[in-house]
Amino acid sequence: MKAAFPVTAIALPLAAVLGLSVAPGPKKVHAAQAAVTWSHNVAPIVYKNCTACHHVGGSGPFSLLTYRDAQRWGTMMQQVTTSRYMPPWLPEPGHGDFQDNRRLSAADIATIKAWVAAGMPQGDAADAPKAPVYTSEWQLGPPDLILSVASPTQVPASGPDVFENFVLPANLSSTKWIRAMEIKPGSPQVVHHANVILDRTAALRRAHPADWQRGIPGMDITVDSGQNFDPDSHFLFWKPDSTALVEPDTMPWRLDPGNDLILNMHLKPTGRVEQIQARIGLYFASKPATQFPMLLQLEHDSTLDIPAGDAHFVVEDSLTLPEAVDVLAVYPHAHYLGRRMEGFAKLPGGETKWLVLVPDWDIERQAIYRLSKPLPLPKGTVLHMRYTYDNSAGNPRNPHTPAVRVRGGNNSTDEMGHLWLQVLPTENAGKDARMPLEKAWMSNRLRKDPSDPTALFNLASMDTEAGEYTEAGKLYTQALATKPNDPRVLTGLGTAQSLSGDTAAAQASFQAAVTADPNYADARFDLAKINLQRNNLAAAEAQFQTIVQLNPNDFAAQDGLGSAQLAQGKSDVAAATFDAVLKADPANFDALYNRGQIAAAASDLATAEADMVRALAVHPDADAERTLAIILASQNRFAAALPHMQAAARLAPADEETKRLLGRLQAELQR
């Protein structure tokens, strides 16, 4: 960069230089500059940018809602706005266009400075805008569901920051789609920020059966996402100026029976002992999602090994997009040694698009940044992160004095370097447009660490989904070398073996998973299904019964239990099991179908017909259509039976028995 040189003043009148004579003209008169006042100039700035935190009961240490409040703190306001410490906003202008940008303009900062210099006059109170109103009630009205932390948590008056994870079981009986969420942390002054993590399998609760209600320490946690492809999709994040988090109409997030919410909280001592007891309010959407975003991550934590005194330690990562996406939001994250955070995209034609640039990172002011409008990135774009760390005495945020060697890890005094992106695929990539993105991400992780158990598991799961059972088995076996006796990996291996036809090996894998974790419902359910398939009916019944005892709302397990009972000739017991399912879930297809079969076998044709009709209203099924046709034909209602047998033949064109029955039914009608 060229050096800037001062401009030298030349003491020559311009007229003399140009050889002109200039007659003196009339002197210009400027209007007196209007005085800067609170009411007319400063209050609009403060109400827009400051009072979300600085109000009574807010997270800020004082209120700025009135003139007297602002006058008291005016000098400090000038100092922290001039230094840009406040309002908290880390991204550099011109490197990403974000919603809710709280960065003050140079003009706003100059206005506050001029007001303080003028003695902080109030001006005409009638000129002031109406002060915003903040309430302790729910911002969107009463939630559809409120989840509360089981018991209060005490935060000490002093000492290091506290990181706690609170498990909140949703206890739903049916799937809900969440359009909005509001977190009430209890005491905003104590809570620095909070993340909500969706635990699909209650993994954290199962891992801490004795103490999950009291809170589980830790800054960053990992949970089991289950056997199905279901990538993380939404940033569920609270910070002190947050209100309700409202999702786009097309993108509510899903909450299923058996799911837990984990409230991951960063708590800060305030100088006195505090107690908090957080609550989460959930608002249900009337319709399910029609667009499905996902979260992608760049990171290279395995290279985080920062020597003491190193002021310029760099970590980089990149990921090539296999599909076109729109970027919706970004979340850069590091701990106390992070200084400069760069996220950018290189388009196939060579153009660079900035995702985010934080020139002076501060973990105390981290946030998720949502783009003002989606940023389209074509297929083949390369995402990049480049983070610089300062482990020297010159870093005022370095938690160690003197500096010590710091490695990657989950503790606050360890280090991290993550760039999370929320993206929405913009092209149809087959069964799920997110799967190629997940595969590229996991392959990138495996490139950096060939023994990465998460990458191995996820890639194996996708191979299973694609019907590549042999390759899936190899990856699961490779993952077991790193995490032997992991019940999730054993269950995945059993699934691949079962789908490939090796039921004996699958049964052994499922049994090993249940032995490793008797409460792992997925493994027990799959073991029960294999036993049912291999005609080990009593063993299947026992397994399903155990699952129902662990989770009475697991309707799939209750259906399996009824099927095992029915296969053993326990018709009355099975009917009672299906009745219990239908009482809680009236549209349960399996329970309706099986109860209809029981009624048909008992010659209760009216009940059998009603159940089959209700089952088919849930979704089409060849067996249900054929059974309903047989029930009707047995009452000599051949004309009514015909369309159902024809539907069964369309749904199962290779089924010879259906073809035979259809021919007989047509013959009866002709006769």
CATH number of the domain to which 524 belongs: 1.25.40.10
Total residue count of the chain as it appears in this document: 671
Given a contact cutoff of 8 angstroms between Cβ atoms, the answer to whether 551 and 557 are in contact is yes
Q: What is the pTM of this model?
A: 0.79
Q: Is 18 helix (H, G, I), strand (E, B) or coil?
A: helix
How many helices (H) and strands (E) would you count in the chain? Answer: 19, 22
Give the C-alpha separation, 353 to 490, whole Å: 43
What pLDDT digit, counting tens, does each position of 606-647 carry? 999 999 999 999 999 999 999 999 999 999 999 999 999 999
| Residue 24 domain flag | no
b vs e for 404-421, b when ≥16 Cβ sit within 10 Å of the residue's Cβ? eebebeeebebbbbbbbb
Give dist(CA 142, CA 163) in Å, integer: 29
- The reply to whether omega before 87 is within 30° of 0 (cis) is yes
Same domain, yes or no, for 155 and 212? yes
Q: Is 336 domain-assigned?
A: yes
Rounded to whole angstroms, the Cα distance separating 60 from 46 reads 13
Domain co-membership, 303 together with 167? no
Is the alpha carbon torsion for 504, 507, 511, 517 positive or negative?
positive
Other CB atoms within 10 A of residue 606 CB: 10
Q: Do residues 159 and 272 share a domain?
A: yes
The candidate with the shortest Cα–Cα distance to 355, out of 340, 337, 367, 370, is 370
The verdict on 497 and 528 lying in the same domain is yes
d(CA 206, CA 226): 13
Domain termination site, one of 92, 127, 162 = 127
Domains in the chain, number: 4
User: For strand 237-238 and strand 191-199, is the pairing parallel, antiparallel, or unpaired?
Assistant: antiparallel
Q: Are 168 and 262 in contact (CB under 8 A)?
A: yes
Question: Across-strand partners of 246?
Answer: 180
SS3 of 608, please? Answer: helix
Cβ contact 103:87 at 8 Å: yes
CA distances from 107 to 45, 102, 151 (A): 10, 14, 48
Residue 31 lies in a domain: no
How many angstroms separate the CA atoms of 598 and 611, rounded? 10
For 318-378, give the DSSP string.
Answer: EEE-SS-EEEEEEEEEE-TTEEEEEEEEE-TTS-EEEEEEESS--GGG---EEEEEEEEE-
pLDDT computed for residue 318 by the predictor? 97
The whole-number pLDDT of residue 263 equals 92
**Which CATH number do you get for residue 358?**
2.60.120.230
Distance CA 406, CA 311 (A): 12
Structure tokens at 147: 């989840």
| Residues 349 and 494 occupy one common structural domain | no
Measure the CA dihedral 513/518/519/524, to 10°. Answer: 60
Residue 173 in any domain: the answer is yes
Q: Are residues 237 and 360 in the same domain?
A: no
- What are the angstrom distances between the C-alpha of 597 and each of 299, 558, 591, 600? 54, 16, 10, 5
Whether residues 419 and 538 share a domain: the answer is no
In the chain, the largest separation of any two C-alpha atoms, in whole Å, equals 123
466 and 592 share a domain?
A: yes
CA distance 573 to 396: 70
CB 38 within 8 A of CB 114: no
- Secondary structure string (H, E, C) spanning 560-601: HHHHHHHHCCCHHHHHHHHHHHHHHCCCCHHHHHHHHHHHHH
Tell whether 429 and 502 lie within a shared domain.
Answer: no
What CATH number did the domain enclosing 253 receive?
2.60.120
The verdict on residue 19 lying in a domain is no
Let me know the angle formed at the C-alpha of 493 by 490 and 497, rounded to the nearest 5 degrees.
135
Q: With H, G, I as helix, E, B as strand and everything else as coil, classify residue 166.
A: strand
CB burial of residue 15 (10 Å; 0-12, 13-18, 19+): exposed
Integer Cα distance of 222 and 217 in angstroms: 13
Tally Cβ neighbours within 10 Å of residue 507.
22
Same domain, 550 and 638: yes
In a domain, 16, yes or no: no
Pairwise CA distance, residues 96 & 104, whole Å: 16
Contact 64, 120 (CB under 8 A): no
Q: Which two tokens stand for residue 574?
A: 């099975």
- C-alpha to C-alpha distance for 632 and 239, rounded to whole angstroms: 62
Residue where a domain stops, chosen among 257, 284, 311: 284
Instruction: Classify residue 373 by burial, with Cβ atoms within 10 Å: 0-12, 13-18, 19+.
Output: exposed
State residue 596's pLDDT score: 94
Measured CA distances, 635 to 150, 631, 632, 668 (Å): 58, 7, 5, 13
- Same domain for 635 and 531, yes or no, is yes
pLDDT of residue 226: 63
Residue 338 is assigned to a structural domain of this protein:
yes
Domain assignment of residue 43, given as a range: 38-127
List average pLDDT for each run of 10 residues in the chain, which is 671 residues long: 34 31 38 75 92 83 91 93 90 91 90 93 91 84 93 87 89 92 84 86 81 79 69 84 84 92 88 89 95 95 96 97 96 94 97 97 89 96 98 94 92 89 82 88 95 92 92 96 91 95 95 91 92 93 91 86 93 94 91 94 94 95 95 93 94 93 90 75
* Beta partners for residue 163, in sequence order: 266
Task: Tell which of 127, 153, 186 closes a domain.
Answer: 127
* Number of neighbours of residue 556 by Cβ within 10 angstroms: 15
621 and 481 within one domain: yes
| CA–CA gap between residue 355 and residue 345 (Å, rounded) | 7
Which three-class secondary structure state does DSSP give residue 147? strand
Residue 291 included in any domain: no
